Amino acid sequence: MPAVSPFPGAWHTRVDGALKVTGRAPYAGDFAARGLAHGWVVSAAIAKGSIARIDMRAALAVPGVLRVYTHKKRPGAAWFNYKYHDAVGPPGRPFRPLRDGRIHFSGQPIALVVAEDLETARYAASLVRVEYRPDAATIDVERVRESAAEPTKRRSGPPPEPRGDAAAAMASAPLHVDHEYRVAIEHHNPMELQATTVEWQDDGKITVHDKTQGVLNTRSYVSAVFGLSPDKVHVVAPYVGGAFGIGLRPQYQLFLAVMATLDLQRSVRVTLTRDQGFSVGYRPDTLQRVALGADRDGHLQAVMHDAIAGTSRFEEHQESVVDWSGLAYQCDNVKLTYRLARIDTPTPTDMRAPGATLGVYALESAMDELAHAAAIDPIELRLRNYAERDQNEDKPFTSKELRSCYQEGARRFGWDRRSAAPRSMRDGHELIGWGMAGGIWEAMFTKTSARASVERGGHVEVGVATSDIGTGTYTVLSQIAAHTLGIPIERVSVKLGDSSLPQAPVEGGSWTATSAGSAVAAACEALRNDLFKSARRIKSSPLSRSRFADLRLVDDRIQHRDDHSRAVTLADVLQAAGVEKLEANKTAKPSLIGSKRAASYTHSAIFAEVRVDEELGVVRVTRVVSAVAAGKILNPITARSQILGGVVMGIGMALFEETQRDDSLARFMNRNLAEYHLASNADIRDIDVVFVDEQDDRISPLGAKGLGEIGIVGTAAAIANAIFHATGRRVRELPVTLDELL
């Protein structure tokens, strides 16, 4: 049987676009349910301590209030901690809502008021009175850095073992860079709030509409915590209004909504406010020290990278922050360390390109400092230290076109017109700065299953349990199915985000298009072959002696490529097979041998132009060029959108986003979109996305690499480096604010 022809990577607008722009795409808080009640969360006003007394009488007296749940009045749930572990959670003791009267972080849920309607629940919640016994708390990693220690259990592997003698090489190197870098805490703040709608069915089954990046992870959590058989829990999340990692793990509104539904035996919805969303995870506060040693020509002699990251008191959230410094550039002497400092906050959460966003910022800032110290062009310095292999694992790359990213990005940006000296480029009262940085992210391919089916009329349906969090998964999978079967995309529909569909991992890590796409291609290829076999087996079939390569699926018929009169209808094929529709299920997974022999990454080169008002210190990012090597580009439109989104988040990281702390209260203060500053339309100017050609036949059957993360990695560093070039002032703590430049 012939293989499917290579996927062409065609432009196509989003197949779900009309649903979204007309408001018809349903999100977790939109689903209607018979007899729906509403829950409102009461949040803790202190960061640490215990509840001395909680008075619910006034709330319960409000007409329409059904229940007020607290730690003293909570229906049964699993007792053992391991029942609350989810598929992507870190080691430790997962947070258990309303377990007891202890307060672990500011904003912790301490009560749930359920009423007939939302406004009644909200009003009654304001009547709940709580007395506390507060304890001293800290949320500043700097204050507890001396107690930082290596994780007791690893979420993944530890940083690579030291190679060579970094300390000795550093001491003998003629050029040194040794500084500390820090990025402010960031919160995800997607458009869709955290919400769960649970539908109660009379047979005791529940349908859970959750704001999640993994419906199977949600189902496993609910089943384990509440002792339900998985077949009694149906999780549906067809659309996710942005997540960026906050939807990877079950959040506490899921527990509360399911708990109330099972207790009341009626449907319940719980939606968190924007303020409460600041109590369900964030990008961790991380202190980083990067030391580079080089010879006079800029060749690296030593790399040392140490990171101290904040985590909660009850779990050990971990990220690969320092590993990138061991593989991005050629160096024989490397030492990488990673430690955790416990603070009184919720557990941090993966946030777009976790670890790399922080670690690559520090590394690429240090490389720019080294380029300035050595008087070498920043691109030339990187080329002199270009790594041809993954030195951390001593493996070749499946592909690496980073040189092409440097070359094409520099050409599009006009880098050759850059004046090297800081403060040497200006336009009137504005200083102009040009900076660049490199980006890197893992290219992953994970085991995923898919189902493809065709009905008598020729309509094809594809199903995968994975989620579409706004990245264009519906569109890309529709394209892959249509191409594999040789039919128009209009004849394909895709179902996602449903726990009854074939299994898939959580949507994250930039692996979904590659993994789910490979599974869909395999399922559609199997379906096509089954159809062609059945068409040839029909008694007196005009296609009985046809080669598979000569057969085509056209509308509701299978016909010969050269003689369209030789054809059979799908109805005849299905009738002969004795079924109403023909279905194929396939699983795609990486080769264990291949993954052991080679390393796969997506690479980028980012170029940024800033203008800095010399008198006011105001910074504007006026141009960005992001050149990306990501294997096969499956859809240039949705691919470009992913990079645009990543760059915008990188601009926010560099200039705007900062979760501000009140250390005396141990509380995050700007818990709203008025004071938590995100990049807006007025902040974003010209962004040029360039995809360089990269062939990779080893990463996956599609030859594609993920794009969700690579757009943000390195972007903040390029902007910070441009600010230094404009002003001559190096700021090593993000976001860069005008007070640091005046």
Asked if 199 and 260 touch (Cβ cutoff 8 Å), the reply is no
pLDDT in tens, 26-73: 999 999 999 999 999 999 999 999 999 999 999 999 999 999 999 999
- Residues 6 or more apart from 683 whose CB is under 8 A from it? 620, 621, 651, 655, 656
pLDDT of residue 5: 58
Asked if 345 and 285 touch (Cβ cutoff 8 Å), the reply is no
Asked if 225 and 77 touch (Cβ cutoff 8 Å), the reply is yes
Asked if 500 and 533 touch (Cβ cutoff 8 Å), the reply is no
pLDDT of residue 2: 38
Task: Select from 3.40.50.2300, 3.40.50.170, 3.90.1170.50, 3.40.50.1390 the CATH code of 37-136+191-243+247-279.
Answer: 3.90.1170.50
pLDDT tops 60 at residue 211: yes
Mean pLDDT, to the nearest integer, of 164-191? 97
pLDDT of residue 153: 87
Q: Please give the share of the chain, as a percent, with pLDDT higher than 90.
A: 90
Please state the pTM of the whole predicted model: 0.96
Handedness of CA 730, 361, 440, 511 (dihedral sign): negative
CA–CA gap between residue 236 and residue 160 (Å, rounded): 40
Asked if 11 and 179 touch (Cβ cutoff 8 Å), the reply is no
Residue matched to tokens 């902007």: 719
pLDDT tops 50 at residue 476: yes
Query: Where are the chain's structural domains?
Result: 17-23+446-589, 37-136+191-243+247-279, 166-186+282-444+596-740
Asked if 62 and 122 touch (Cβ cutoff 8 Å), the reply is no
pLDDT tops 80 at residue 156: no
The burial class, CB within 10 Å (0-12 / 13-18 / 19+), for 408 is buried
Mean pLDDT, to the nearest integer, of 627-638? 97
pLDDT tops 70 at residue 4: no
Asked if 184 and 732 touch (Cβ cutoff 8 Å), the reply is no
Q: Which of 440, 384, 360, 402 is nearest to 721 (CA)?
A: 360
pLDDT of residue 155: 78
Question: Most distant CA pair in the chain: distance in Å?
Answer: 86
Continuous segment of H or E residues that includes residue 269 = strand 268-271
Q: Which CATH class is domain 166-186+282-444+596-740?
A: alpha beta
Residue matched to tokens 């030391």: 291
pLDDT of residue 728: 98
CA–CA gap between residue 110 and residue 130 (Å, rounded): 9
pLDDT of residue 123: 98
Q: pLDDT band for position 106 (50/70/90)? A: very high
**And the tokens for 253?**
């509104």
Mean pLDDT, to the nearest integer, of 681-705? 95
- Residues 6 or more apart from 208 whose CB is under 8 A from it? 196, 197, 198, 199, 218, 219, 222, 233, 234, 235, 236, 254, 257, 258
Q: Do domains 17-23+446-589 and 166-186+282-444+596-740 have the same CATH topology?
A: yes
The burial class, CB within 10 Å (0-12 / 13-18 / 19+), for 379 is buried
CA–CA gap between residue 24 and residue 16 (Å, rounded): 10
Q: Which of 684, 678, 682 is nearest to 657 (CA)?
A: 678
Q: Please give the share of the chain, as a percent, with pLDDT higher than 70.
A: 99
Q: Please tell me which residue in 186, 408, 430, 709 is annotated as part of the active site.
A: 709
Residue with the larger pLDDT of the pair 76 and 357: 357
CA–CA gap between residue 404 and residue 383 (Å, rounded): 11
Task: Select from 3.20.20.450, 3.30.2130.10, 3.30.365.10, 3.30.1780.10 the CATH code of 17-23+446-589.
Answer: 3.30.365.10
CA–CA gap between residue 446 and residue 214 (Å, rounded): 14
pLDDT in tens, 449-472: 999 999 988 999 999 999 999 999
The full DSSP string for 429-480 is TEEEEEEEEEEEEE-----EEEEEEEETTS-EEEE-S---SSSSHHHHHHHH
Average confidence score pLDDT of the chain: 95
pLDDT of residue 578: 85
CA–CA gap between residue 313 and residue 511 (Å, rounded): 31
Mean pLDDT, to the nearest integer, of 246-270? 98
Mean pLDDT, to the nearest integer, of 667-684? 96
- Residues 6 or more apart from 430 whose CB is under 8 A from it? 611, 612, 613, 614
CA–CA gap between residue 89 and residue 638 (Å, rounded): 29
pLDDT of residue 3: 45
Beta bridge mates, 450: 586
Mean pLDDT, to the nearest integer, of 553-562? 89
Q: pLDDT band for position 592 (50/70/90)? A: low
pLDDT tops 70 at residue 1: no
pLDDT in tens, 271-299: 999 999 999 999 999 999 999 999 999 99
**DSSP code of residue 284:** P
Number of Cβ within 10 Å of residue 396's Cβ equals: 13
**And the tokens for 201?**
């069915």
Task: Determine whether 709 is an active site residue.
Answer: yes
Beta bridge mates, 129: 55
Task: Choose the weakest-confidence range: 41-50, 144-153, 565-574, 647-656.
Answer: 565-574
pLDDT tops 80 at residue 132: yes
pLDDT in tens, 367-426: 999 999 999 999 999 999 999 999 999 999 999 999 999 999 999 999 999 999 999 999
Q: Taking the CA atoms of the chain, what radius of gyration do you get in angstroms? A: 28
SS (H, E, C) 346-366: CCCCCCCCCCHHHHHHHHHHH
Asked if 248 and 204 touch (Cβ cutoff 8 Å), the reply is no
For the chain, give percent helix, strand, coil, nearest 5.
30, 25, 45
pLDDT in tens, 695-732: 998 999 999 999 999 999 999 999 999 999 999 999 99
Mean pLDDT, to the nearest integer, of 216-231? 98
pLDDT tops 90 at residue 556: no
SS (H, E, C) 515-571: HHHHHHHHHHHHHHHHHHHHHHHCCCCCCCCCCHHHEEEECCEEEECCCCCCEEEHH
CA–CA gap between residue 96 and residue 79 (Å, rounded): 10
pLDDT of residue 595: 65
Continuous segment of H or E residues that includes residue 650 = helix 636-655
